[in-house]
C-alpha cells in the first residue's frame, strides 16, 4: 500500500513506505544468508517472557507466531519522529509496529485517513471502535514488500524480484503518538487474494490482542 500524502510529523508517507520496503528486503537478505539462525538487534532484557518491550517503555507486544528457526526481529529508527520493530520469518510472514511522535504537527485520525484511497493496492478501509478507542483499519497489497525474493531466469541471466505482501493495518492515536500495527502474508502456492487478505486480518487481530500501550 503506497500513498503520497503528508502525515503528522511532516514526512512523506511514500518515504516511510520506501524505508519499510528496504528494511523488509534487508530482513529477506538475512534469511537467505543466515539460514536457520534466529537473529535480533533487541537486547534480551526487552525480549523476556515471549514479549517485546519498546525502548521507551511505552508499549509491549507478545511475539508473533512466526516459524522458528528463521525468525528475525529488527528494531529501527526510521526518522526523527518514527521508530519501529519488525518481525519476519522464512515463509514471508511479517509483523511490525510503528510509533510516530505527533507533537510537531498534530492531526486527527480522520485527517490521517484522508490520504488513503481505495484502489488497486488498497482494497478495504474502515473505522472500528476497539478497547484502544477508534481505529482505522486497512487491507491492501504492498507491491514488492515481501521478504521472499523470487529468482527466475530471463534471457539467459538470473533476475531476482521481491514478492508482493498482503497487509492488514490498524492505525490509531494514543496520547501524542500515532501507532501503525501491521500483519503481512506472502501469497504462496497459488493462494487467492481473498484468502491472503483473510489470513492477514486474522493475524493482525491476534497481534493487536497481545499489544499493551502504557
Inter-residue contact 109 to 126 (CB < 8 Å):
no
User: Domain residues of the chain, as ranges?
Assistant: 13-213
CA 48, 51, 53, 59 dihedral sign is negative
Q: For the segment 26-39, what is each residue's pLDDT rounded down to a tens digit?
A: 454 443 333 334 58
Q: Which class in CATH covers the domain with range 13-213?
A: alpha beta
Inter-residue contact 115 to 169 (CB < 8 Å):
no
pTM for the whole structure = 0.81
Name the band, by pLDDT with cuts 50, 70 and 90, for residue 103: very high
Q: For the segment 129-161, what is each residue's pLDDT rounded down to a tens digit?
A: 999 999 999 999 999 989 888 888 888 899 998
Q: For the segment 54-83, what is each residue's pLDDT rounded down to a tens digit?
A: 999 999 999 999 988 889 999 999 999 999
Amino acid at each position: 500500500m503506497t500513498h503520497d500524502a503528508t502525515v503528522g510529523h511532516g514526512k512523506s508517507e511514500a518515504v516511510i513506505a520506501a524505508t519499510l520496503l528496504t528494511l523488509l528486503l534487508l530482513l529477506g537478505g538475512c534469511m537467505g544468508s543466515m539460514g536457520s539462525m534466529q537473529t535480533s538487534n533487541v537486547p534480551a532484557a526487552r525480549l523476556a517472557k515471549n514479549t517485546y518491550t519498546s525502548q521507551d517503555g511505552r508499549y509491549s507486544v507478545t511475539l508473533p507466531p512466526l516459524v522458528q528457526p528463521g525468525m528475525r526481529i529488527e528494531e529501527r529508527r526510521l526518522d526523527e519522529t518514527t521508530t519501529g520493530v519488525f518481525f519476519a520469518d522464512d515463509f514471508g510472514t511479517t509483523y511490525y509496529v510503528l510509533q510516530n511522535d505527533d507533537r510537531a504537527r498534530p492531526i486527527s485520525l480522520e485527517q490521517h485517513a484522508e490520504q488513503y484511497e481505495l484502489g488497486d493496492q488498497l482494497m478495504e478501509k474502515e473505522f472500528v471502535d476497539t478497547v484502544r478507542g477508534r481505529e482505522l483499519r486497512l487491507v491492501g497489497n504492498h507491491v514488492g514488500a515481501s521478504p521472499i525474493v523470487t529468482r527466475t531466469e530471463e534471457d539467459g541471466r538470473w533476475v531476482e524480484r521481491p514478492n508482493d505482501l498482503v497487509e492488514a493495518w490498524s492505525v490509531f492515536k494514543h496520547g501524542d503518538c500515532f501507532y501503525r500495527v501491521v500483519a503481512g502474508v506472502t501469497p504462496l502456492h497459488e493462494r487467492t487474494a481473498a484468502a491472503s487478505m483473510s489470513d492477514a486480518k486474522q493475524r493482525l487481530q491476534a497481534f493487536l490482542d497481545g499489544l499493551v500501550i502504557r
